[in-house]
Amino acid sequence: MNIATPTKIQYEAIIGLETHCQLSTHTKIFCGCSTAFGTPPNTNICPVCMGMPGVLPVLNQTVLEYAVKAGLALNCHISLFSKFDRKQYFYPDLPKNYQISQYDLPIAENGWLEIELVDESGLNPVQKRVGITRLHMEEDAGKLVHAGSDRLAGSSYSLVDYNRTGVPLIEIVSEPDIRSGKEAAEYAQELQRIIRYLGVGDGNMQEGSLRCDVNISVRPIGQQKFGTKVEIKNMNSFSAIQRAIDYEIERQIQSIETNIPVIQETRLWDESNQCTMSMRRKEGSSDYRYFPEPDLTPIELSSGQLKNWQGDLPELPAQKRHRYVSSFGLSAYDARVLTEDRPMAEYFESVIAAGANPKQSANWIMGDITAHLKTTKQSISQLSINPSDLAELIHLIEANTISSKIAKEILPELLVHGGSPQSLIDQKGLTQISDTGLLMAAIDKVLTANPQELEQYRQGKTKLLGFFVGQVMKQTGGRADPKLTNQLLMHKLTD
Amino acid sequence: MLKPEEVRKVASLARLELTPDEEGQFATQLSDILTYIEQLNQLDTTDVLPTTRAIDGSNITREDHLTPYANPRLILQGAPEPEGEFFRVPKIGGE
Ligand SMILES: [Zn+2]
C-alpha cells in the first residue's frame, strides 16, 4: 500500500507476522497433562512441565502430525530430519528458565499462503501469495494472572498459573511480504481458516489460541534499505491487527517526516486508546543461547509417512474458493462466505451433490438458513433440514411445483422439523396451480369482483396489474403460478 | 583469559550477582574450560556428523493420552511463595 503524504514522498510498509497457534491435542507437548482451557489454576501441571530436576520430556506424536499437516497445508518443505532446542530466558511464566523450541532445523520451511483481497463492494478479488519462512513446534508458557501490590513489604508481585505451560504451539513466521493492515488481517484470517479446516487447532483469538505479533518498518518507495523494524504485540482480533498496523504506519511516517528516529522496540496495541504504546525495554538482551535439547531425540520422517499425512489433508479454503468460482459460477463474494468454515462448505457441497443448482443453493444457505442459524445460535451441523431436503426444495421451485414464496413459507417448518419438502407440500395442499383452466376461473372471479379497478385499468392505469395478480394469489391461497398468472391476466386484460 | 565484561554479561544472562572477587575467580575457571574446548577443537572432525546427544535414536514419541499428575497441589506447596491456587513471583518490569 502506498501512503500519500503532504510532502509527496510516497512510503511503503514492510510487514511480517509471527503467529503462535495452539494445537488442539488432549495433552501437552511433552507430558500427559491436560490442555483443557479454563480449568482451575495450576491443576494441569506435573513435574515435567514444571521443570523439576531429573524428569524426561517425551514428544506427543499428535503434535508432530498436526505440525507436519499445517506445514503441508502451507505449501512448506517438510524437513525429514528435525530436532528440538532450548531457548534460554528468564521470565516467571517459564518454570524451566528455558523454552523447548526448534532453532536451526524447524519441521517446515519455505512455504506460502494465498490471501484474497476484495474491495468494499466485495468485488474485484485480487489474490496474493505471502511467503512462509518457517513453521516450528514449541511449548507455550504459563500465564501471569494478576498483578498485586504488597504494600506492607513495599514490593509488588505477580501470580502465575502454569496450566498453559507446555501446551503445544506451532509458530508460523511469514516473509516480509505484507504491505498493509488489511493484508495482514487477511493473512491471519486465512491462517485461522486453514488451522480450522485441518482440525489441528481452534484458532480462537479471544482465548489466545491464535496470537499474532507484527514486525513492521516503513521506507520511502524506491529506497533499498529497510527502515527500523518495530514489533507490535497484544492484538486479539483481526480488526485490531489491521488498526494497529495502520496506526503504526502513520506513526512511523510522522517520525520520519519530523526527523525523529524510529526506535527498534516492542510496542503494545492499546485497544481502549486505539494506539500503540512503547513497552518498557526488557532488561538484558535477547541472547537466547540456543542449544540442542539433550532430553529429546531427533525426529526423522519417512516419505511414506509424509504421503499418508498429505493424503489426509482436506480441500483447503483457497482451493474451494477457486473451485466455487470456476466450477459453480459463484461470485468471489459468495465463494468466500460459503468457504468461511468447513461445515458450511461441506453442507453446500452436499446440497449440490444432491443435484441442486449451485447459485440457488448458495442463495438459500447464505440467506434464510444463515439467518435461522444466527437467531437460533445453532451451527450448520445441528440443522434439521438436511442437504438432500434443501436440494429437493430447490428442485420443487425449479420444476414450478411450488413458488419461491411458498418455499419461504414452508421453510421455517423444515428448519425446525426437517423432512421432505415434497411430502410437506402434499400434506398441506400447497402445490402450485399451473392449470390454465383453474387459473382462468380464478382470474374471472377476481375481475368480476373488482369492476371498478377493471374499468380504471382499461382507462390506462396499467399498474393495477399487480393488484389483480395479488387478488388471484389471495384467491388461490398463494398457490397460483405467478408467471403464468401474469401472462393470463395480461392476455385477458388486453382482449 | 575472559575479560571482566564478558564474565559480567554471562552472569547477567544467568541472573547471577557476582562480587568483584567472584568475577576474577570465574574469569579464570571459565577460561580454563574454554581452553579445554580449544584443545578438543584441534581434532579433525571433517567427516564426523554433528551429534547433539550421547545416545543414538530418533522418533521416541508417546500417544496423546491423558495421564494427569496425581498431586499438582504438592508442586504448588513446594514453591517458595504459594498464594491460594497460584505461584507468587516477583513483579517483572514492564508488566
Ligand atoms: Zn505436565
A129-144 mean pLDDT: 97
Around ion ligand 1, residues with a beta carbon closer than 5 Å are A 31, 33, 46, 48-49
What is the predicted pLDDT for the residue at A22? 98
Task: Tell if the CB–CB gap between B88 and A64 is shorter than 8 Å.
Answer: no
Instruction: Return the SS3 of A224.
Output: coil
The gap between the terminal CA atoms of chain A, to the nearest Å, is 64
- Asked if A334 and A324 touch (Cβ cutoff 8 Å), the reply is yes
**Cell numbers linked to A156:** 509488588
Is residue A245's pLDDT more than 70?
Answer: yes
Of B15, B65, B87, Cβ closest to residue A42: B87
What is the predicted pLDDT for the residue at A413? 87
What is the predicted pLDDT for the residue at A1? 55
Residue A135 Cα, ligand 1 centroid: separation in angstroms?
24
The CATH number of whichever domain residue B18 belongs to comes to 1.10.20
| Window from A107-116, A257-266, A341-350, A433-442 with minimum mean pLDDT | A433-442
Q: Which residues of A touch B90 (CB under 8 A)?
A: 92, 155, 157-158
Residue B84 covered by a domain: no
Residue B33 covered by a domain: yes
Residue B79 covered by a domain: no
pLDDT tens-digit readout, A310-334: 999 999 999 999 999 999 999 988 9
Residue B26 covered by a domain: yes
Task: Tell if the CB–CB gap between B75 and A47 is shorter than 8 Å.
Answer: yes
> Under 8 Å CB-to-CB from A369, ≥6 apart: which residues?
A380, A383, A385, A390, A415
Residue B67 covered by a domain: no
Q: Which of residues 48-77 of A touch B (CB under 8 A)?
A: 50, 52, 58-64
> Which residue did the predictor score with more confidence, A470 or A128?
A128
By the CB < 8 Å criterion, does B71 face chain A? no
By the CB < 8 Å criterion, does B89 face chain A? yes
pLDDT tens-digit readout, A452-466: 988 888 888 888 888
Q: Give the count of alpha carbons within 13 A of A400, CB side only.
A: 9
Q: Calculate what percentage of chain A has a pLDDT beyond 70.
A: 94
Q: Calculate what percentage of chain A has a pLDDT beyond 90.
A: 65
- Asked if A44 and A35 touch (Cβ cutoff 8 Å), the reply is yes
**Cα–chain center distance at A117:** 14
The range of the structural domain enclosing residue B29 comes to 4-41
A13-39 mean pLDDT: 97
A136-165 mean pLDDT: 80
> Which residue did the predictor score with more confidence, A473 or A218?
A218
The pLDDT mean for chain A works out to 90
| Window from A46-55, A406-415, B71-80 with minimum mean pLDDT | A406-415
What is the predicted pLDDT for the residue at A54? 93
pLDDT tens-digit readout, A93-134: 999 999 999 999 999 999 999 999 887 666 778 999 999 999
Angstrom distance (rounded) from CA A447 to CA A443 = 6
Task: Give residue A9's pLDDT band: very low, low, confident or very high (50, 70, 90).
Answer: confident
B2-8 mean pLDDT: 89
Pairing of strands A126-139, A143-150: unpaired
Residue B92 covered by a domain: no
Q: Which of residues 288-317 of A touch B (CB under 8 A)?
A: 289, 292-294, 296-300
pLDDT tens-digit readout, A435-449: 888 888 888 888 888
CB contacts < 8 A (A, B): 132
What is the predicted pLDDT for the residue at A4? 56
Is residue A283's pLDDT more than 50?
Answer: no
- Asked if B11 and B40 touch (Cβ cutoff 8 Å), the reply is no
- Asked if A16 and A174 touch (Cβ cutoff 8 Å), the reply is yes
Of B13, B57, B86, Cβ closest to residue A161: B86
Shortest Cα distance from A45 to chain B (angstroms)?
6
What is the predicted pLDDT for the residue at A90? 87
Task: Tell if the CB–CB gap between A92 and B89 is shorter than 8 Å.
Answer: yes
Task: Tell if the CB–CB gap between A297 and B53 is shorter than 8 Å.
Answer: yes
Is residue B36's pLDDT more than 80?
Answer: yes
CATH architecture of A436-493: Orthogonal Bundle (1.10)
Residue B53 Cα, ligand 1 centroid: separation in angstroms?
23
Task: Give residue A155's pLDDT band: very low, low, confident or very high (50, 70, 90).
Answer: low
- Asked if A67 and A84 touch (Cβ cutoff 8 Å), the reply is no
What is the predicted pLDDT for the residue at A276? 93
> Which residue did the predictor score with more confidence, A60 or B1?
A60
Angstrom distance (rounded) from CA A493 to CA A454 = 8
Q: What one-letter code names the amino acid at A326?
A: S
Q: Where are the domains of chain A?
A: 11-146+157-307, 315-428, 436-493
- Asked if A78 and A92 touch (Cβ cutoff 8 Å), the reply is no
> Which residue did the predictor score with more confidence, A429 or A88?
A88
A466-495 mean pLDDT: 84
Task: Give residue B94's pLDDT band: very low, low, confident or very high (50, 70, 90).
Answer: very low
Q: What is the count of structural domains for chain B? A: 1
